[in-house]
Structure 1
Amino acid sequence: MALKNYQYNKILRDYDNRQLEAKHELDLRMENAYGKIPALKEIDDEIVTCAINSAREMLTGNEDALNTLKEVARGAEKRRSELLKANGYPEDFLKLRYQCPDCKDTGYIGNEKCHCFKQAIVDIVYSQSNMKEAISRENFSNFSLDFYAETYIEPSLNMTPRENIVRVVEECKRYINDFESNRGNLLLYGNTGVGKTFLANCIAKELLDKAFTVIYLTAFQLFDILEKNKFGRGEDNFESQSQFEYILDCDLLIIDDLGTELNNSFVNVQLYLCINERLLRNKSTIISTNLSLDNINSLYSERVFSRIASNFSLLKIVGEDIRLKKLF
Structure 2
Amino acid sequence: MDIPQYYQNIFKGYTQKLLANFTRNCNICHGTGYHLIDGDMFRDCDCIKNFNRLKKYTNIGINVKHIGREMSWFKNEFSDNTYNKIKEIENNLDEALKVNFIIYPANNNMWGASHIGNQIIKFCVDKDKQCAVASSKNVMDLFFSWDKPELQECIEYLQWVDVLLIDDFGTEYNSKMKENNSFVSNSFNGFLMERKRANKATIIASNFHIKYLKETYSTEIQNVITTNFVGLKINSKTQKKTEFDGMLVKLQQPTLKCCFDDLESIEVTSKSKRKSVF
Deviation at 1:251, TM superposition (A): 0.8
User: RMSD of the TM alignment (CA)?
Assistant: 3.0
Structure number with larger C-alpha Rg: 1
For structure 2, the 5+ residue unaligned runs are: 15-60, 174-179, 240-278
Structure 1 position 127 matched with structure 2 position 38: no
Structure 1 position 207 matched with structure 2 position 138: no
- Give 2:125's aligned amino acid: L
Task: Name the residue aligned to 1:144.
Answer: 74
1:1-328 to structure 2, matched below 5 A, reads: 118=2, 124=8, 127=11, 129-130=13-14, 131-132=61-62, 134=64, 137-141=67-71, 143-148=73-78, 162-174=79-91, 176-178=93-95, 183-190=98-105, 191-229=108-146, 237-262=148-173, 264-319=181-236
**1:91-148 per-position Cα deviation (integer Å, ceiling 9, x unaligned):** xxxxxxxxxxxxxxxxxxxxxxxxxx63687962663653345376254445332223
For structure 1, the 5+ residue unaligned runs are: 1-116, 149-161, 230-235, 323-328
Query: Please, what TM-score do these two structures have when normalized by structure 2?
Result: 0.57
- The answer to whether the 8 Å contact 1:138/1:201 transfers is no
Q: Which has the higher helix share?
A: 1
Query: Please, what TM-score do these two structures have when normalized by structure 1?
Result: 0.49
Q: How many residues align?
A: 185
- The answer to whether the 8 Å contact 1:140/1:202 transfers is no
User: Secondary structure in 2 aligned to 1:254?
Assistant: strand
- The answer to whether the 8 Å contact 2:6/2:150 transfers is no
**% identical aligned pairs:** 25
User: Secondary structure in 2 aligned to 1:258?
Assistant: coil
Q: Which structure's relative contact order is higher, taking Cα pairs within 8 Å and 6+ residues apart?
A: 2
- The answer to whether the 8 Å contact 1:134/1:201 transfers is no
Deviation at 1:321, TM superposition (A): 6.4
